[in-house]
Amino acid sequence: MNSIASLPAALAPPFPRTLGGLLLDRERDTPDDVLLIHEGREITIGELAAAARAEAGALRAQGIVPGDPVLTMLEAGPGHIAQVLGIALAGALWVPLAPDARGPSLAHALTVADPMLAVAAPGTTQTLRAAGYPADRPVLERDGWAWRPAEAAPELGPPADPDAHRAILFTSGTTGPPKGVIVTERMLIASAAGCALASACTPGDGYLMWEPMHHIGGPQLLAMALAGRARLVLVERFSASGFWDAVRQNRVTKMHYLGGILEILLKAAPAANDRDHPVTLAFGGGARPDVQRTFSERFGVPLREVYGMTEASSFTTVNMNGAEGAVGQPVPWLDVEIRDAAGHPACGEATGEIVVRARHAGLLTPGYLGDPDATAKLRRDGRLFTGDMGRRDAAGNLYFLGRMTDSLRRRGENVSAWEVETALAAHPDIAETAAVGVDAETGEHDILCFILLRDGVAWDPAALADWARANLPRAHVPRYWKQVTAFDRTPSQRIRKARLDRDIADAFDRGDR
């Protein structure tokens, strides 16, 4: 079990604080502390609090009352952060979407959340109207990346209820339309606590903030920095070419990663100053053990893998003991069960669905907004059924095995797409893979594998298939192979498998062997 001894007092379970309360506490106690660094400019707690109160006042002037949904479609800059905190101070419900949201997914989110007001990037009004945002509801066009200081602002006290709904965060929608996860104040503070635990946050730490605000990674970093007296260095987006320069220039001490970010950084040619930086720890999810080892050896940074989902306050496990390939053990405020195929809890070493139970009330989402059927499937008997496959070893370490929907039936065996992808990642020519099931003549599945090759490597699917036959269990060897030049990804860097072209007509077929 991971310890809470090092957590900031404001992030201690059962998490009775609110986001607006954290801001005003810091303004009262340390108004001159720097919270944000934006394009070389230092923004203090006092400046940010004044800007947030001004934004809250502007919302009130537009007729927004506590509980009203307010949509944001802004870049993740200081203006967006002030807006988010203003929404919190006004007691409104924050509904963040990507600034480039459009089409059916935007229309779906607007229908589900029904926002009373939108704060969106310049030129976005027409997109919102086209997607069904009512003509009689206002759109305030703002530049979320710009900083707008406020000289004076009304005094507003934040809502004090930790179980009030703070945000609707739409899932990435890898399959089907995105679902709006209801996130309470308590859940947001718990996610910040998980972030602080995973990153060993201490006062003065610097974090490079590249995460979008419409993903849980952005707001949990903000809440953690408020509670833990850390600094956030804002960058418009993750950039491999400018990453280490930004780290050195801004004294970044902790590094967050997702998906293929470590691999992207490893693609750069080794340099004499690879270890000349202030980063002392990296934390995140989705890195293979070989990538973790290579990254840590080259850059001298220890890594902590984590597992979690927005629906369960973001962080469920943290790997504090370094068990290779593991995503760790539960955070102190949650328990993890492994359920077998029949739905029964399994003891000791086991493989099955990851099920989360809270040790304190209010740490699991109340549900998906406007989707009672999906909520009923997610939450049962006071537990959250993640839909993820996991393995627990004898020491209690959890290993993530992928989504249950990524499991397929091949030659009478259940095969995890994650197992196939992880095994193929050992091939020296393969940068990344995605495995999916396609209908087989037997009524089960054949495996179709999408391959992203390393730079400069020629496409030779027959050779890849031969290597797979020699190195993978027979049931895990893909029958069909396709090359891709890039993968379409979610904001959290997961591959959008639902968008992969599963037409096998143009795929290499190794034959049903």
The answer to whether 162 and 189 have CB atoms below 8 angstroms apart is yes
- Strand pairing of 445-453 and 430-439? antiparallel
Task: Specify if 386 maps to a domain.
Answer: no
Task: Specify if 55 maps to a domain.
Answer: yes
Task: Specify if 241 maps to a domain.
Answer: yes
Residue that finishes a domain, picked among 286, 303, 320: 303
What burial class does residue 199 get, using C-beta atoms within 10 Å of its C-beta: 0-12 exposed, 13-18 middle, 19+ buried? buried
Residue that finishes a domain, picked among 239, 272, 303: 303
Residue 284 to residue 307: CA distance in whole angstroms: 8
**Count of domains observed in the chain:** 2
Phi, psi dihedrals of residue 436, rounded to the nearest 5°: -135, 160
Residue 52 to residue 79: CA distance in whole angstroms: 9
Tokens 């600034």 map to which residue? 99
Report pTM: 0.84
Residue that finishes a domain, picked among 285, 303, 321: 303
Tell me what pLDDT residue 160 has. Answer: 85
Tokens of 46: 């006092």
Tell me what pLDDT residue 236 has. Answer: 87
- Strand pairing of 254-258 and 231-234? unpaired
Tokens of 391: 């393995």
Task: Specify if 378 maps to a domain.
Answer: no
CATH code where residue 288 lies: 3.40.50.12780
CA 166 and chain centroid, separation: 17
Task: Specify if 380 maps to a domain.
Answer: no
The answer to whether 217 and 310 have CB atoms below 8 angstroms apart is no
H/E stretch holding 345 reads strand 345-346
* Claim to verify: residue 64 and residue 185 sit in the same structural domain: yes
Tell me what pLDDT residue 341 has. Answer: 82
Give the list of residues 6+ apart from residue 364 with CB closer than 8 angstroms, or none.
187, 311, 312, 313, 356, 358, 379, 383, 384
Task: Specify if 384 maps to a domain.
Answer: no
CATH code where residue 428 lies: 3.30.300.30
Tell me what pLDDT residue 473 has. Answer: 75
* Claim to verify: residue 288 and residue 430 sit in the same structural domain: no
The answer to whether 110 and 132 have CB atoms below 8 angstroms apart is yes
> 88-112 burial, b for 16+ CB within 10 Å, e for fewer?
bbbbbbbbbbbbebeeebbbbbbeb
What domain range is 235 assigned to? 9-303
Tell me what pLDDT residue 153 has. Answer: 67
C-beta neighbour count of 273 within 10 angstroms = 8
Task: Specify if 359 maps to a domain.
Answer: no
Residue 32 to residue 44: CA distance in whole angstroms: 5
Residue 416 to residue 424: CA distance in whole angstroms: 13
Phi, psi dihedrals of residue 495, rounded to the nearest 5°: -75, 130
H/E stretch holding 104 reads helix 103-113
For each successive 10 residues of the chain (513 residues), what is the average pLDDT? 78 96 95 96 96 94 96 96 96 94 87 98 94 96 93 71 96 69 98 97 96 93 98 92 94 90 90 97 91 95 96 97 95 96 90 96 97 95 94 95 74 71 89 89 81 95 93 86 91 80 92 68
* Claim to verify: residue 282 and residue 425 sit in the same structural domain: no
Task: Specify if 396 maps to a domain.
Answer: no
Tell me what pLDDT residue 286 has. Answer: 83
The answer to whether 171 and 490 have CB atoms below 8 angstroms apart is no
